[in-house]
Structure 1
């Protein structure tokens, strides 16, 4: 896969550079280190933040990642004393927005609301990944984990997972399902379902959960794999029928929805998570400031309650813990992706 072109120069001083991004950034960091010796206390980090911060969501508005981002960003704004502005940059299963942040200046003013898609699946799904989830980012904080959910249009003629499987086997390759995009955990949830049930259906990718849900509710695409938070209100309102959650245990906010295993697919389990990342080489003082603000945000009583209401379980912790989580997730999903046969050129 061809790497995505830069949508803007990370910094005016880098425009026209023929060196690698990492070489240029390290040179810049070295220059700043010399400057720090002349400026007591390294004012460039101590004064952070002194302007608004952009939190890039690599999916369209209206999805689970967008919901978590806007909830957390508001609380982080209060902690940091500067606005944290959410900017949606959907496309390519989250890779477009993630690539944008990977190429941004490592100054703490452009950060990523990363997901399992950008930091666990992309490395194995793409023939030519546009970024390295470990080398091209600095971890900030692991925020939440959320279940995925299999839903159908309210008028779809399948009341449970077993009836869906029977229908798919009667009409192999004729039914379609939607997800928030190629290479997302929801795409993989659908492919894993097909593999484990011996069924076949066509995947229709969207640029985010929001657009996908519109077509499922209308009946244009009758089957959907989504993160539970973005489908929550539609399930409660009855415009979507939830057949199963994809985690080992039932979701506390929907105790009547069975797990996929309870619904008759033994061993099936997927979930997703959200975490904050900065470009590689972001100064540790800035990462520490962002980490403290992120942890304070998700432990705020109002924020935690809001996230719990939509099925998101808060995590928190150190940048080092997030780094280890990313490495373990890349390793966990690689064999799943290989077994499913999913591949994006």
Structure 2
């Protein structure tokens, strides 16, 4: 508790002891207690942060969890004058890192970048999820939406969706498609593509994006979707070919790549979303402070340019934390429906 709140608490307690507690109405006592707690909460927010903050990226280094954690962390460092360190905790499609953060001290000094996989898809995909997105975390701010791009190994004779369909039907067992792990955006994108095109495809999960992309470039798997900044170096190097983006609209970072919905996959429209979250019992005053400051940060011109032109993201105007919680509830139901239709419910 900060100095100001400590002094105020002492003054209030002295005032209370000046009169016998037995003579004071219960309502007055509750009001005193509430005022003390309110003062303490305000002092925490005013003083926050006064030491290093850790942002957990629940994946292997190099993926979008890390990219967004570093971007957010660098901005908050400049704003607050305190260090924000990024800690990668990969494992089980963000589950290992999520469990760690769910059990961290709820003091605002441990935060986490979380994707739609973390907060929604995992709920229906896993038979027994060791955390509850709605009760173990409090959303701070929605960061962005993340389109992906469908990639094919450049050595394969595929330059269109029609070519992809032909190759899938002519390949024994169908085409292999990779992902950063079960329930990730790449996994659901592949399952959606498989259902929409009616083609045989086999899911190959990896422990992170980089191992999956390495195998795609090396020809060990045939196809997968990827966040755009991770795909561009491989495409520029001639290792993979970009067929189409997963959203219904073109993406500013790769405007020449058409939406899948325009080139043979009608109605295809999919994008992951990203949030910054904290352990559930983090003081609301700290959550509100971070939310307000990050809403300003995410509207800064250099951040929007970074998102749109270099990261291939879609900027969003984040709702308040309470509205974000309702959004997560809706997304759990929506993505759960996709998981069930793909026959993946409880498969992990």
Fold match (TM-score > 0.5): yes
Answer whether contact 1:117 1:183 (CA < 8 A) is retained.
yes
For 1:328 and 1:313, the matched residues in 2 are separated by 20
Answer whether contact 2:114 2:276 (CA < 8 A) is retained.
yes
For 2:56 and 2:297, the matched residues in 1 are separated by 17
C-alpha displacement at 1:321, in angstroms? 3.0
C-alpha displacement at 1:252, in angstroms? 2.0
**CA deviations over 1:17-63 (Å, ceiling 9, x no partner):** xxxxxxxxxxxxxxxx9798389544444321111111111111112
Report the 3-state secondary structure (helix = DSSP H, G, I; strand = E; otherwise coil) of the residue aligned with 1:225: strand
Matched, 1:106 2:106: yes
For 1:69 and 1:117, the matched residues in 2 are separated by 16
Match of residue 331, structure 1, among 330, 333, 338? 333
Stretches of structure 1 that go unaligned for 5 or more consecutive residues are 1-32
Q: Where does residue 312 of structure 2 map in the other structure? A: 311
For 2:274 and 2:205, the matched residues in 1 are separated by 20
Q: Where does residue 55 of structure 1 map in the other structure? A: 55
The structure with the larger Rg is: 2
For 1:228 and 1:325, the matched residues in 2 are separated by 25
**CA deviations over 1:232-270 (Å, ceiling 9, x no partner):** 333344332111111111112222212111121112221
C-alpha displacement at 1:192, in angstroms? 1.4
C-alpha displacement at 1:191, in angstroms? 1.1
Q: Where does residue 7 of structure 2 map in the other structure? A: none
Q: Where does residue 145 of structure 1 map in the other structure? A: 145
Deviates more, 1:234-243 or 1:188-197: 234-243
Matched, 1:96 2:96: yes
Report the 3-state secondary structure (helix = DSSP H, G, I; strand = E; otherwise coil) of the residue aligned with 1:275: strand
For 2:288 and 2:82, the matched residues in 1 are separated by 16
C-alpha displacement at 1:316, in angstroms? 3.6
Superposed CA RMSD in Å reads 2.1
Report the 3-state secondary structure (helix = DSSP H, G, I; strand = E; otherwise coil) of the residue aligned with 1:134: helix
Stretches of structure 2 that go unaligned for 5 or more consecutive residues are 1-31
| Distance change in 2, residues 1:340/1:243 (3 Å) | same
Q: Where does residue 202 of structure 1 map in the other structure? A: 202
Q: Where does residue 227 of structure 1 map in the other structure? A: 227
Q: Where does residue 270 of structure 1 map in the other structure? A: 270
Report the 3-state secondary structure (helix = DSSP H, G, I; strand = E; otherwise coil) of the residue aligned with 1:261: helix
Report the 3-state secondary structure (helix = DSSP H, G, I; strand = E; otherwise coil) of the residue aligned with 2:269: coil
Q: Where does residue 340 of structure 1 map in the other structure? A: 342
Report the 3-state secondary structure (helix = DSSP H, G, I; strand = E; otherwise coil) of the residue aligned with 1:229: helix
C-alpha displacement at 1:106, in angstroms? 0.6
Report the 3-state secondary structure (helix = DSSP H, G, I; strand = E; otherwise coil) of the residue aligned with 2:235: helix
For 1:38 and 1:136, the matched residues in 2 are separated by 22
Q: Where does residue 12 of structure 1 map in the other structure? A: none
Answer whether contact 1:120 1:330 (CA < 8 A) is retained.
yes
For 2:294 and 2:73, the matched residues in 1 are separated by 8
Q: Where does residue 323 of structure 2 map in the other structure? A: 321
Deviates more, 1:36-45 or 1:270-279: 36-45
Matched, 1:157 2:162: no
For 1:166 and 1:157, the matched residues in 2 are separated by 10
Q: Where does residue 8 of structure 1 map in the other structure? A: none
Report the 3-state secondary structure (helix = DSSP H, G, I; strand = E; otherwise coil) of the residue aligned with 1:93: coil
**TM-score w.r.t. structure 1 length?**
0.85
For 1:50 and 1:91, the matched residues in 2 are separated by 31
Answer whether contact 1:148 1:226 (CA < 8 A) is retained.
yes
Answer whether contact 2:295 2:317 (CA < 8 A) is retained.
yes
Answer whether contact 1:121 1:185 (CA < 8 A) is retained.
no
For 1:282 and 1:288, the matched residues in 2 are separated by 10
Matched, 1:293 2:293: yes
For 2:321 and 2:234, the matched residues in 1 are separated by 35
Q: Where does residue 185 of structure 2 map in the other structure? A: 185
For 2:124 and 2:227, the matched residues in 1 are separated by 21
For 2:139 and 2:172, the matched residues in 1 are separated by 43
